[in-house]
């Protein structure tokens, strides 16, 4: 049965992650025919200024771009929304009450998935912007979950991996990320949360054990499916 709601996807931050989210959503949707898949409107809003660059004091504020993107999707007929960028949710949290349609929040969904897979905690890998805001740590504290945080030098390397994915260097990003994760696992063998939408792409190209990776894209897809198909 196809859901009545139309999902609005605000993407382009970055494009490869948006495309991967759509693939993951299609694969995980409980549908047997084209007609049973949800209606979607995708806005690849690539002109949005880089979120981390702004948070590090080096670029323009993306807030109005993100807000405009969400309101554009609503104007086009979206009944519910999601955003395929973790760092963007730092800005969304500041104006969420101004948006007239519900947002499936990638941070909350990823923490929920992490707590189900690894109740004792997980390694958090994200952009420097997401780390700087403490976005995941704040939301995790509210739900009683704990993340292990890589040291700052590793955080810089992880951010470089996300830039490599954005540049289309997926294989190279996977190789670099594998080296980072192996060093994290030498400290403590816990699942690794890809808390930037480019990181699941790097993880998929790393050759690492799939069961030890927690994808924010899969978490977001599962949250959208729940809201579309199972919530009355």
- Global pTM reads 0.95
For the segment 146-201, what is each residue's pLDDT rounded down to a tens digit?
999 999 999 999 999 999 999 999 999 999 999 999 999 999 999 999 999 999 99
What span, in angstroms and rounded, lies between the C-alpha atoms of 157 and 163?
Answer: 10
Inter-CA distances, 174 with 16, 20, 139, 161, 227, Å? 14, 15, 28, 8, 32
pLDDT digits (tens, 9 = 90+) for 67-119: 999 999 999 999 999 999 999 999 999 999 999 999 999 999 999 999 999 99
Q: Which of 82, 196, 216, 224 is catalytic?
A: 196
Instruction: List, in sequence order, every beta strand (DSSP E) within the chain.
Output: 6-11, 39-44, 80-83, 103-104, 122-125, 147-148, 192-194, 213-215
- With cut-offs at 50, 70 and 90, classify the pLDDT of residue 232: low
* pLDDT per residue as tens digits for the range 209-229: 999 999 999 999 999 999 999
Domains contained in the chain, CATH given: 6-106+219-230 (3.40.50.1860), 107-216 (3.40.50.1860)
CA distance 161 to 155: 10
Query: Is-catalytic flag, 85?
Result: yes
Residue 16 pLDDT exceeds 70: yes
pLDDT at 230 over 90: no
Structure tokens, 48: 């949005």
């Amino acid at each position: 049965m196809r859901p009545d709601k139309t999902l609005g996807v605000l993407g382009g931050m970055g494009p490869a992650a948006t495309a991967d989210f759509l693939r993951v959503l299609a694969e995980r949707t409980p549908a047997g025919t084209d007609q049973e898949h949800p209606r979607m409107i995708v806005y690849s809003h690539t002109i949005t200024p880089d979120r981390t660059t702004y948070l590090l004091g080096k670029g323009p504020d993306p807030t109005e771009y993100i807000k405009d993107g969400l309101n554009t999707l609503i104007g086009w007929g979206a009944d519910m929304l999601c955003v395929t960028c973790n760092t963007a949710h730092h800005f969304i949290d500041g104006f969420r009450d101004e948006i007239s349609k519900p947002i499936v929040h990638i941070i909350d969904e990823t923490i929920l998935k992490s707590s189900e897979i690894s109740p004792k905690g997980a390694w958090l890998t994200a952009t420097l912007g997401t780390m700087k805001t403490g976005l995941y740590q704040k939301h995790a504290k509210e739900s009683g979950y704990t993340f292990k945080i890589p040291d700052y030098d590793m955080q810089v390397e992880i951010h470089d991996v996300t830039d490599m994915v954005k540049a289309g260097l997926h294989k190279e990003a996977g190789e670099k990320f594998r080296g980072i994760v192996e060093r994290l696992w030498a400290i403590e063998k816990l699942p690794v949360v890809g808390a930037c939408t480019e990181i699941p792409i790097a993880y998929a190209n790393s050759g690492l054990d799939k069961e030890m990776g927690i994808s924010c894209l899969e978490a977001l897809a599962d949250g959208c499916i729940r809201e579309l198909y199972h919530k009355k």
